[in-house]
Amino acid sequence: MPSPSALLFDIQPQLATPIYRQVVEQVQRLVAGGQLGPGDELPSVRAVAERHAINPMTVSKAYSLLEAEGLLERRRGVGMVVAAHAQPARAGQDRLALLEPALLAVARQAHQLGITPAQALKALERALQSTEQDSP
């Protein structure tokens, strides 16, 4: 595992989601998607705070919540790692649940723009294809 990068997270303070929740949800997604596996190190609180110019307490709060949830473990001398028994979500249902907030936002905007469901689905398909081409 390469050294953990504080760039792992995409933090958008202007979003209507508190920063600590953005970190929690992103770790959940990265574990569910298998990008972070058991034993993988999370970037340190200090590194994440420094990189994104945010309050370290906010990052601590997110990590503590994930620890309480059983997704992360505190390992002496290393910091936070993904818990040994944390599994990528096998049932597609769990992963879909994590995608739901983003889907709802897209649906709302499509409705406001007067885009038909068929048009919206086609656009989503195109977006999916273009991200697949981008990633190796």
Partner 1 sequence: MTVAIEARQLSLRRQDGWSAARHSVLDRIDLRIPEGAVVGLVGRNGAGKSTLMRCLLGLQTPDEGNAWLLGEPSLALPDSVRERLGYAAQTPDLFARLTGLEHLDEMAAIYPNVDLRGAAALAARLDLSLGKRADTLSLGDQQKLAVVLALAHDPDLLLLDEPVASLDPISRRDFMRALFAMRRKPEPRTVLVSSHLLSDLERVVSHVLFMRDGEVQLFIEWDEAVENLRCVPARERDAMALHWSDAQGGRALVDVRQWPEAAGEPGLSMEDLLEVLNT
Contact 86, 40 (CB under 8 A): no
Site string for partner 1, 86-115 (x = CB under 8 A): ------------------------------
User: Among 135, 114, 112, 132, which residue's Cα sits nearest to residue 124?
Assistant: 132
* 5 belongs to the binding site for partner 1 (CB under 8 A): no
Q: How far is residue 12's CA from residue 131's CA, in Å, rounded to a whole number?
A: 21
Cβ proximity to partner 1: between 32 and 59 the closer is 59
- Contacts (CB under 8 A) with partner 1, residues 52-71: 52-58, 61
Structure tokens at 7: 């760039």
> Which of residues 25, 40, 41, 50 is near partner 1 by CB under 8 A?
50
Site string for partner 1, 16-35 (x = CB under 8 A): xxxxxx--------------
Cβ proximity to partner 1: between 5 and 17 the closer is 17
Q: How far is residue 35's CA from residue 29's CA, in Å, rounded to a whole number?
A: 9
Helix (H/G/I), strand (E/B), else coil: 7: helix
